[in-house]
Structure 1
Amino acid sequence: MPPSGHSGCGENVVSAAAKEKLVLALPKGRILEEVMPIVRAAGIEPEPDFDDPKSRKLSFATNHAHLEIIRVRSFDVATFVAFGAAHLGVAGADVLMEFDNPEIYAPLDLGIGYCRMSVAEPKELGDEDDPSTWSHVRVATKYPEITKKHFAQRGVQAECIKLNGAMELAPAMGLCSRIVDLVSTGSTLKANGLVEVEVIAEITSRLAVNRTAWKTRPDEIGGWIERFREALHAQAS
């Protein structure tokens, strides 16, 4: 059980860190549905508004007085954790790789949200294309940093066009010949005449923590990491 954060100072002075609630940032959407059984198995139960689809609240109290949950977009989880506005968070490896901030440490793979990050192109190109011969590519992607690093490792110059959605439309509309995107079943690619030609990384969601917070509040944050680890073990057994 994580400590409550009360100080035992003789003058009854409570540090700012002890007064401050721990904040857990969770992503909206599909990953939220997958992670909540783990969150609850770790002993965290949010207030009723959390499960109310009509609620417009973004922050929620929990059954632990010193822990609250915020619900934000997946990429924003990394921002909140990196800058210490959230002490813990759940984020996909894709988000963490793209953000690549040294203040974020991801000690625990939650094994949820599995997909892969792949390079895809129109089927007519894929039938005869050999990625090993590329020297320059123009790519539409939500992940320009990951894409550039991936191709740079092979000496390929990648010109990235940043899109936040509808990636599969880009080749058909003449924006580029290739895309880098997350792939689950591959059905969306197939429906839009695209095929995978390379897998950049296998993706799952991780429990991430702010490094500075872990250093200043090791017992609390370490305790929650252990609770999540135990919850995963319990589900696996």
Structure 2
Amino acid sequence: MLKIALPNKGRLSEEIRELFHDAGLEVRARGARALSASLGGQFEALFVRAQDIPEFVADGAAHAGVTGWDLVSEAGRPVELLRDLEFGRCRLVVAAREDSGIATEADVADGMRVASCFPRLTQAHFEKVGRNVTVVPVSGAAEISPRLGIADLVVDLTSTGSTLRMNGLREVSTVLESSARLVACHGNDADARLALDEMSRALGSVIAARGRRYLMANVPKLELGRVREVLPGLNGPTVVDVLDGGRFVAVHAVVLARTLDATIRALKALGCEGILVTRIERLMA
């Protein structure tokens, strides 16, 4: 049984469970407080704190795990990156008070204090840019540190920047871009690697399907050349003869959901009929 470490709570946990469910790896726990659960087949989920997952995976207590790249980077433990799961996106940024006069890292004076829940990444970043600062480790709410006089700057996570602005802070630079990642232990044997690669592909097929739709339409044969420009698909649209279709053929293609309305308008302008759009559960490239 291969053990997969997953976050035990929070929004990231919910999104991961949804992704695994859609990939056919439904979390089957005995109760809401269960510390483990079946994922079907040969996989078992272990529910732990998100920040502990890099340690579990690096030490071999779990064969693989899912957590934020910010936490993996802060832990500094050797793990193998299998896949970017493309959600939970955020940035680790340097921020200063609006009235501090600090607009770039060149304005950061040696000896300034920087509060962060990511002391290792913070120290490494300022060493890289040639600034000798004092890192103040905090366990949370780093954004209030400048107001309390604990620090001159903060290094904190943000997705929209609204929390920083609400606390009178402005971004100075980006330290790291993060998202949920599937990581694995370097010590896994060949059978475990094969199984984890298959799991990674299953998760990837769900991710690839998100934001895409399957579109079918009856297209005038004389307009096929122009329709190809509207429906490029993955490798070009699939064209199928329609029984007694006369001047029409059926065209199938995968399209981006965000361009769907414009695509349908373009097809109608070319005389296409019987346009049908469906969701895609999984997409194997």
TM-score (norm 1): 0.82
Unaligned 5+ runs, structure 1: 1-20
Structure 2 counterpart SS, 1:118? strand
Unaligned 5+ runs, structure 2: 213-285
Structure 1 residues 145-168: Cα deviation after superposition (integer angstroms, max 9, x where no partner): 111111111111231111110111
CA contact (8 A) 1:46 1:62 kept: yes
The corresponding residue for 2:26 is: 45
Corresponding letter in the other structure for 1:166: A
The corresponding residue for 1:233 is: 208
Task: Kindly name which structure, 1 or 2, has the bigger radius of gyration based on alpha carbons.
Answer: 2
TM-score (norm 2): 0.69
The corresponding residue for 1:117 is: 92
Alignment of 1:55-134 (within 5 A): 55-64=32-41, 66-102=42-78, 104-126=79-101, 129-134=103-108
What percent of counterpart residues are identical? Answer: 34
What's the Cα RMSD here?
1.8
| 1:26 pairs with 2:6 | yes
Structure 1 residues 113-148: Cα deviation after superposition (integer angstroms, max 9, x where no partner): 01111111111014x544214342311101111111
Structure 1 counterpart SS, 2:187? helix
Question: What is the CA-CA distance between 1:234 and the residue it aligns to?
Answer: 2.6
In 2 relative to 1, CA 153–108 (structure 1 residues): closer, same or farther, beyond 3 Å?
same
Alignment of 1:130-145 (within 5 A): 130-136=104-110, 137-145=112-120
Write the distance in 2 (CA, Å) between the matches of 1:88 and 1:134.
39
Write the distance in 2 (CA, Å) between the matches of 1:208 and 1:214.
15
Higher RCO (CA-CA < 8 Å; seq separation 6+): 1
The corresponding residue for 2:131 is: 156
Write the distance in 2 (CA, Å) between the matches of 1:197 and 1:44.
41
Instruction: Flag as ranges the 4+ runs of structure 1 deviating above 3 A.
Output: none
